[in-house]
Amino acid sequence: MNLVIVVFDIELHFRKELQITSGYRCPAHSVAVGSTATSQHTKGTAVDCYIPGVEYAFLHDFVLSRWPNSLGVGIYNSHVHIDSRQNPARWDSRT
Protein backbone atom coordinates (compact mmCIF):
# COMPACT_ATOMS: atom_id res chain seq x y z
CA MET A 1 0.00 0.00 0.00
CA ASN A 2 1.32 3.42 -0.93
CA LEU A 3 1.30 5.82 2.03
CA VAL A 4 0.67 8.87 -0.17
CA ILE A 5 -2.49 7.23 -1.53
CA VAL A 6 -3.61 6.38 2.01
CA VAL A 7 -3.15 10.01 3.13
CA PHE A 8 -4.99 11.28 0.05
CA ASP A 9 -7.88 8.85 0.61
CA ILE A 10 -8.19 9.97 4.25
CA GLU A 11 -8.30 13.62 3.17
CA LEU A 12 -10.97 12.86 0.60
CA HIS A 13 -13.08 11.04 3.16
CA PHE A 14 -12.91 13.77 5.81
CA ARG A 15 -12.75 16.63 3.28
CA LYS A 16 -10.01 18.14 5.41
CA GLU A 17 -6.24 18.30 5.23
CA LEU A 18 -4.31 15.73 7.23
CA GLN A 19 -1.69 17.40 9.43
CA ILE A 20 1.57 15.45 9.64
CA THR A 21 3.49 15.99 12.86
CA SER A 22 6.27 13.52 12.08
CA GLY A 23 7.34 11.78 8.89
CA TYR A 24 10.83 10.59 8.04
CA ARG A 25 13.27 10.39 10.96
CA CYS A 26 16.94 9.51 10.83
CA PRO A 27 17.79 6.54 13.09
CA ALA A 28 19.47 8.74 15.74
CA HIS A 29 16.46 11.06 16.00
CA SER A 30 14.09 8.11 16.08
CA VAL A 31 15.91 6.71 19.11
CA ALA A 32 16.07 10.17 20.72
CA VAL A 33 12.27 10.49 20.61
CA GLY A 34 11.76 7.10 22.22
CA SER A 35 11.34 4.86 19.19
CA THR A 36 13.81 2.50 17.54
CA ALA A 37 16.54 2.98 14.94
CA THR A 38 14.57 0.70 12.61
CA SER A 39 11.07 2.15 13.00
CA GLN A 40 8.89 2.68 9.97
CA HIS A 41 9.73 6.39 10.23
CA THR A 42 13.39 5.63 9.44
CA LYS A 43 12.25 3.94 6.23
CA GLY A 44 10.11 6.89 5.14
CA THR A 45 6.98 4.75 5.31
CA ALA A 46 5.22 6.29 8.34
CA VAL A 47 3.45 9.43 9.45
CA ASP A 48 2.18 10.64 12.79
CA CYS A 49 -0.84 12.76 12.06
CA TYR A 50 -4.16 14.28 12.99
CA ILE A 51 -7.00 16.17 11.35
CA PRO A 52 -8.08 19.43 12.99
CA GLY A 53 -11.57 19.07 14.41
CA VAL A 54 -11.56 15.26 14.17
CA GLU A 55 -11.08 13.16 17.29
CA TYR A 56 -8.02 10.94 17.16
CA ALA A 57 -10.15 7.89 17.89
CA PHE A 58 -12.46 8.69 14.98
CA LEU A 59 -9.53 9.02 12.56
CA HIS A 60 -7.99 5.83 13.96
CA ASP A 61 -11.25 3.88 13.61
CA PHE A 62 -11.74 5.10 10.04
CA VAL A 63 -8.27 3.92 9.01
CA LEU A 64 -8.88 0.52 10.62
CA SER A 65 -12.21 0.11 8.87
CA ARG A 66 -10.89 1.28 5.48
CA TRP A 67 -7.75 -0.89 5.55
CA PRO A 68 -8.58 -3.80 7.89
CA ASN A 69 -5.94 -6.17 6.53
CA SER A 70 -2.99 -3.87 5.92
CA LEU A 71 -1.00 -0.95 7.34
CA GLY A 72 0.44 -0.28 10.74
CA VAL A 73 -2.00 1.81 12.75
CA GLY A 74 -1.51 3.09 16.27
CA ILE A 75 -3.25 5.65 18.42
CA TYR A 76 -1.57 7.93 20.96
CA ASN A 77 -2.75 10.78 23.17
CA SER A 78 -1.54 13.34 20.63
CA HIS A 79 -1.77 11.71 17.20
CA VAL A 80 -2.48 8.69 15.04
CA HIS A 81 0.41 6.73 13.54
CA ILE A 82 -0.06 5.23 10.06
CA ASP A 83 2.54 3.26 8.15
CA SER A 84 2.67 1.13 5.03
CA ARG A 85 4.44 -1.93 6.44
CA GLN A 86 3.85 -5.27 4.72
CA ASN A 87 1.98 -7.02 7.54
CA PRO A 88 -0.77 -5.29 9.51
CA ALA A 89 -0.02 -4.09 13.03
CA ARG A 90 -2.32 -2.45 15.56
CA TRP A 91 -1.64 -0.78 18.92
CA ASP A 92 -3.12 1.64 21.41
CA SER A 93 -0.54 3.69 23.31
CA ARG A 94 -2.91 6.11 25.01
CA THR A 95 -2.43 6.64 28.71
Give residue limits of the domains in the chain.
3-92
Does position 1 have pLDDT exceeding 90, yes or no? no
- Dump pLDDT digits (tens) for 35-84: 999 999 999 999 999 999 999 999 999 999 999 999 999 999 999 999 99
Strand 72-75's sheet: what is its strand order?
A: 19-22, 46-50, 80-83, 72-75, 89-92
pLDDT of the residue at 70: 96
- Which residue stretches of 1-95 are H helix? 3-14, 27-32, 56-66
pLDDT of the residue at 34: 94
pLDDT of the residue at 40: 98
CA atoms of 28 and 40, how far apart (whole Å): 13
Q: What is the pTM of this model?
A: 0.96
CATH 3.40.640.10 applies to domain 3-92: no
